[in-house]
Structure 1
Amino acid sequence: MEALQLARHASALFLFVCFLVKRGSSNPNHCTPSLLDRSFGSTSNLFFLNSICGVIGRNWSMLFTAAGFSVSLQDSNPEQLTHALSSIRLQMLELEERGELLGKRPALEQLNLIKAEQDLSVAVNGAVYIQECIPEDLEMKRGLFSTLDHMLPPTSIIGSSSSCLLPSTLFADLKCCSRCLVCHPVNPPYLIRLVELVPHPKTEAWVTLQIEDLMRQLGRMPITLRVELPGFALNRLQYALLTEAWRLVESGALTPDEVDLVITEGLGPRYAFSGPLETMHLNGAGIRNYCQLYGESICSVSNTFGPTPKFSGVVMDSVHKAMCDTVGDSTRDLEKRQCWRDRCLAALSKLKRTINVQDKEGKTTEKEQTGKFT
């Protein structure tokens, strides 16, 4: 009963504080009540971000500042921190110039909400929520979480950006495991709204609910897995696609470029608006009818897929050569193509935020698409 009361209290406080952050003073030094502060009397920065300052950490920080949160970036390498802040500044100003910056504050005001710290204990001092973004290395992550376990107050929540590591393994033996969960974004997080939440078996319900709400405050679309699965949801679907793409090249049926074309000019455009199950429903005059018409064929074709490929050897060399011919293989070539991809994603994101999307009853639901702070 006590836990339930805490959950309700924390959720209500969270919504109220977020409202104050977004509607309150534009002064970047303005302080707000702590997220879980029952008295509303003390003040502290609302949000801190712990991160090795790579692409994911930088994107997370931009999302939080867009929503009006104060952010602390942490990295033990001062050069990484300097590069991160410079990169964030450049990206925000470019997004603002193109009319694609999220949030209601101008870029420079958002930038003022970010501070950099080398010392982990300083970065997380007073932290309400920590988003870990270090490399996908189990022992490295467990080492960090073990350190944080002895640093954080009993109300702080830890979210991991891990894309595959299971919470039961990541957070094993931590005293704070009831306040830990995976919070996995899709790269690049600033431009793709989905976030996968995977609680630890002992994660308290109020923690998951609060982080779901936090993601919505950032304009994200959270989904919460009810059971632990290797690869979660997005990578399970992605890996199923990648394994068959590899087989098509391996069999000589298609070239690597032709496989990519099947997605970019075939499945991709419609999946940007209707997922695979809704597509079944639309294309078959209902799921039942679709299954009756095509269910046997799906099973028959699926039985021919064959074993999981090794992603090495001759096929890997063939795919690598094709991608280098198309995109290039230098760092500059890759960065140029990534920038082009990100501009396309930004344009698609903007379209999805502004288009008059019709709900099931034919009513405009544009507000739902735009998020809460865009």
Structure 2
Amino acid sequence: MKIGIVGAGLIGRAWAIVFARAGFLVSVYDVNANALVNAGDAIRQSLNDLQQAELVADVDQIMTRIRFDADLTSAMQGVEYVQECGPENVEGKKTIYRELEAVVATGTVLASSTSGIAASQFSERLQHPERCLVAHPVNPPYLIPLVEIVPTPQTSEDVTTTTLQLMEAAQQVPILVRKEIEGFVLNRLQGALLNEALRLFRDGYVSAEDLDKTVKHGLGLRWSFMGPFETIDLNAPAGIEDYASRYGPLYHQVDQQRGQENPWDASTLKIVGEERRALLPRAELAARHEWRDRRLMSLIAHQRLMAEKDSS
């Protein structure tokens, strides 16, 4: 199968790594020729980092599977699946999808990387809306494998199944979001935590640093290999119902205490930003990004080792 990628930005480059690493031929399109040149250099650097972490073997071989093209028609020639990585803008996506329909085969699947826009908002007036859906990754997808597959009411079951199978073949971990909902699943969960984190910070209960410690040294350790339902199922002697009987009233009471006002107010964010910059100066952000990715690589290597031990 040949994969087309629309957009040579951060997410488009990451998807190119995902698919080429798995053995697929990849054609990356961007209207900006300079972006394509930069994309090639950035992809090779990321692959070199993965090779150093022993997560890929042959960088040159992977790079031979990726081509770059500033012409949409030639870039999409022969592709069976397109991963669109354009801006988070409904009107812009409508334009991109109309252009794609004009150059790809009728059976080509058109998937969007959008973080929260339902695909029906930009696909319902296409000639073939049944082949459109969302395949939302977590950044960077070559390190964090979850992909949310979100069909529209018009998406065919075959397209959904094909996309789920493709993601598994690409060594990703797809989940099916059964109905369209703004923000999908991951960002709604992340948003709930962020909203509460901002309220706790804003109302003076905890510093930004200690809030982060709570997650990375507490919840995050369990959540790196268990989900919230499995976590509470294992946190009471008789399982999830036992946990609910013990702690459900507390969680319900806390939920009722939460205000409905928007916690993303400018004054709160300004103070959070000041605390973060005191901990991490702006000039050190890029180096910290690299640190994050190295830590993720180490975690993935450890998880693979544990999976091999569990299966032996």
> TM-score normalised to the size of structure 2?
0.96
Percent identity between matched residues is 35
Q: For each residue in 1:286-305, what CA deviation from the matched residue of structure 2 results, as whole angstroms up to 9, or x when unmatched?
A: 01111111111110111111
Q: For each residue in 1:171-225, what CA deviation from the matched residue of structure 2 results, as whole angstroms up to 9, or x when unmatched?
A: 1201121011100000111100110000011111011111101000011110011
Q: 2:6 is paired with a residue of what secondary structure?
A: coil
For residues 9 and 74 of structure 2, what CA distance do their matches in structure 1 show?
Answer: 20
Which of 349, 361, 364 in structure 1 is aligned with 2:300?
349
Structure-to-structure mapping, 1:311-326, within 5 angstroms: 311-326=264-279
Is contact 1:181-1:200 (8 Å) kept?
Answer: yes
The residue number in structure 2 matching 1:66 is 21
Amino acid at match of 2:258: F
Which of 280, 286, 306 in structure 2 is aligned with 1:335?
286
Is contact 1:243-1:308 (8 Å) kept?
Answer: no
Structure-to-structure mapping, 1:6-21, within 5 angstroms: none
Q: 2:140 is paired with a residue of what secondary structure?
A: coil
1:309 is displaced (CA, Å) by: 2.3
The residue number in structure 1 matching 2:254 is 301
Is contact 1:181-1:203 (8 Å) kept?
Answer: yes
The residue number in structure 2 matching 1:79 is 34
Amino acid at match of 1:343: R
1:310 is displaced (CA, Å) by: 4.4
Task: Count how many residue pairs are aligned between Structure 1 and Structure 2.
Answer: 311
More helix by share: 2
For residues 144 and 51 of structure 1, what CA distance do their matches in structure 2 show?
Answer: 9
The residue number in structure 2 matching 1:162 is 114
The residue number in structure 2 matching 1:190 is 142
Is contact 2:53-2:298 (8 Å) kept?
Answer: no
Which of 120, 124, 129 in structure 1 is aligned with 2:81?
129
Amino acid at match of 2:276: M
The residue number in structure 2 matching 1:251 is 203
List gaps (5 residues or longer) in structure 1: 1-45, 359-363, 367-374
1:50 paired to 2:50:
no
1:357 is displaced (CA, Å) by: 7.4
Mark the CA change 1:356 to 1:52 in structure 2 (over 3 Å): closer, same or farther.
Answer: closer
Is contact 1:49-1:72 (8 Å) kept?
Answer: yes
Q: For each residue in 1:231-284, what CA deviation from the matched residue of structure 2 results, as whole angstroms up to 9, or x when unmatched?
A: 100000000000000001110001111111110111001011111111110001
Q: For each residue in 1:305-339, what CA deviation from the matched residue of structure 2 results, as whole angstroms up to 9, or x when unmatched?
A: 11242413221110011111112213xx2111110
> TM-score normalised to the size of structure 1?
0.81
Is contact 1:247-1:309 (8 Å) kept?
Answer: no
The residue number in structure 2 matching 1:116 is 68
List gaps (5 residues or longer) in structure 2: none
1:147 is displaced (CA, Å) by: 1.3
1:289 paired to 2:266:
no
1:166 is displaced (CA, Å) by: 0.6
